A = this chain, B = another copy of it.
Amino acid sequence: MLDRQHLHILSAVASTGTVTEAANKLHVTQSALSHAIKKLEQAYGVKVWHKEGRRVRMTNAGQLLLKFGNRVIPQFEHAELQLQQIAKGERGTLRIGMECHPCYQWLLTVVKPFIREFPDIDVDVKQQFQFGALGALLEYEIDMLITPDPLLHKHINYQAVFDYEHVLVVPADSTLASLGFIRPTDLADETLITYPVEASRLDIFTRFLTPAGVSPKRHKIIETTEIMLQMVEASRGVAALPRWLVESFQDKLDIKWVSLGSAKIMKSIYLGTRNKEQAPDYMGHFKALAKRARVV
């Protein structure tokens, strides 16, 4: 079979001019090269070179292989370089999945220093998953999952990266704004704005309204945080969001936040990763950056 080694031999013979020098260059004996090419010649029934005086001259076939070698040898070398970069953790793709709408802003503050520190690691962020985010992680569709709901699984490790309070955002002039904390019944006459996910995954329902048997007057769905908060400012509804997120908008919008219940709703964001294979170095760095980014 035509092999990389043959191309190296041809290349060395062409550049040095003689088989003997080529052999020195490749740190083997002249005999080894003669034998190797002879075998190739027999395999394909072509002459690769022929003696001319005390040197050799490439035949048509030899020149063909030489040109071929000039084209593919650099490709091999490039692939080897990439392997070495992977070995040193200098190259890779970090595919991040997010199950947490408001986390996007926070994630950006982690990704930004990360891509500066690891210029050869590509970062991908996905938010849509055909078979759920956990499935995507297990099926190698993503390498890391950012979620407030760490569904336990044998092959997934979770690490909490920061804790925050889930609060109700209200217009600054709302009567709710002056309360020390909100009770479920306070929302019975309000319009509640949420992201477009099932109610079973919204803490405002699962941990606050549903246990108390209360429903909001209306339920509006809005996809983007910015629009959602503008609606709140315009007194078109109230929303439940991370406190840090609300605070980051308070210099732009006339809104206020109030704790949900006297006990407050406390949440954590988790990074989930597979434990099936050894994680590359840069993933550890990413986790470290994520932990330091608690303050937004």
A interface residues (Cβ-Cβ under 8 A, vs B): 1-5, 44-47, 50, 52, 57, 59-61, 64-65, 68, 71-72, 75-76, 79-80, 82-84, 86-87, 91-93, 140, 276-278, 280
Contact = CB atoms under 8 A, between A and B. Distances in A.
A60 B93 contact: yes
Contact of A45 (B76, B87, B277): B87
B64 A79 contact: yes
B61 A86 contact: yes
Contacts of A87: 44-46, 61
A50 B2 contact: no
7 contacts: A2-B80, A3-B3, A3-B4, A45-B84, A61-B83, A61-B86, A61-B87
A152 B249 CA distance: 95
A152 to B, nearest CB: 19
A287 B61 CA distance: 22
Nearest to A277: B50
10 closest A-B pairs by beta carbon, nearest first, are A45-B87, A44-B83, A50-B277, A46-B87, A68-B79, A61-B86, A46-B86, A2-B80, A60-B92, A3-B4
Given A2-B76, A50-B276, A86 B64 contact: yes
A1 B277 CA distance: 25
